[in-house]
Amino acid sequence: MNVSPGAAPAFASPRGRFVTFEGGEGAGKSSQVTRLAERLRGRGLDVVVTREPGGSPGAECVRHVLLEGAAEAFGPLAEACLFAAARADHVDRTIRPALDAGRWVISDRFYDSTRVYQGGGVAPEMVRLLEQVAVDGTRPDLTILLDVPAEIGLARAGARRGEGVADRFEKEDLATHERRRLAFLKLAHEEPERFVVVDATDDPGTVAEAIWFAVETRLGLAPAERSA
């Protein structure tokens, strides 16, 4: 298990804290988001769990269009614009109001997914421009990257899906998924103060402990929050 701890930032304002989970297909993001939220709630914290694409009524409609593949024919830039439109709505209606109210927000994917998935087909400066417009300054305090070889993640996602059909992105070939894994690791390397990389090949309980350690050390839970 690899965890890269860093310095705990000071939080002077009552703004809530924003944690995002990133990683490839089947890395275990949804499972770990649920576990972390339960543990934080057990400490008496007010936690909002959300996801992308989606997380607000408008963005959930766009999610359907994107994952069904209906926008694929319009090309990578159009898809990137749709992800950005969904994100703008998600930030405006769900994330920012919750943070302003002092709540914790945990999002299953956020803009790093666009950097990685759409970044393969759209110029990086365009991806960053769309990102800037969509988030308007609302950025994660901590990003947990669940790292797992693409083959393992896809096998997990496939086993869970059973006879169901893979979505627009999941259906892509192994080499593409492995390139995405490396692209996520590159982002983590470039922003070590925001990212923590967790080895997600371990069993779910061990992964959850690594995530909890990262949250405690990076976000500096108050003594009451730690022991409640």
Q: What are the residues binding ligand T5A (CB under 6 A)?
A: 23, 25-31, 52-53, 67, 83, 109, 113-114, 117-118, 156-157, 160, 167, 169-170, 200, 203-204, 207
Q: What's the closest the beta carbon of residue 106 comes to ligand T5A, in angstroms? A: 12
User: Judged by CB, which is closer to ligand T5A: 27, or 219?
Assistant: 27
User: Judged by CB, which is closer to ligand T5A: 75, or 204?
Assistant: 204
- Could you identify the residue written with the tokens 């057990």? 42
Q: What is the DSSP code string of 163-213?
A: TSPP-TTTTS-HHHHHHHHHHHHHHHHH-TTTEEEEETTS-HHHHHHHHHH
Q: What's the closest the beta carbon of residue 223 comes to ligand T5A, in angstroms? A: 30
User: Judged by CB, which is closer to ligand T5A: 176, or 222?
Assistant: 176
Q: What's the closest the beta carbon of residue 132 comes to ligand T5A, in angstroms? A: 14
Q: What's the closest the beta carbon of residue 89 comes to ligand T5A, in angstroms? A: 13
Q: Which helix (H) or strand (E) holds 21?
A: strand 18-23
User: Judged by CB, which is closer to ligand T5A: 94, or 221?
Assistant: 94
* CB half-sphere exposure, 104, CA atoms < 13 A: 21
194, 145 contact by CB (below 8 A): no
**Count of Cβ atoms closer than 10 Å to residue 165 Cβ:** 8
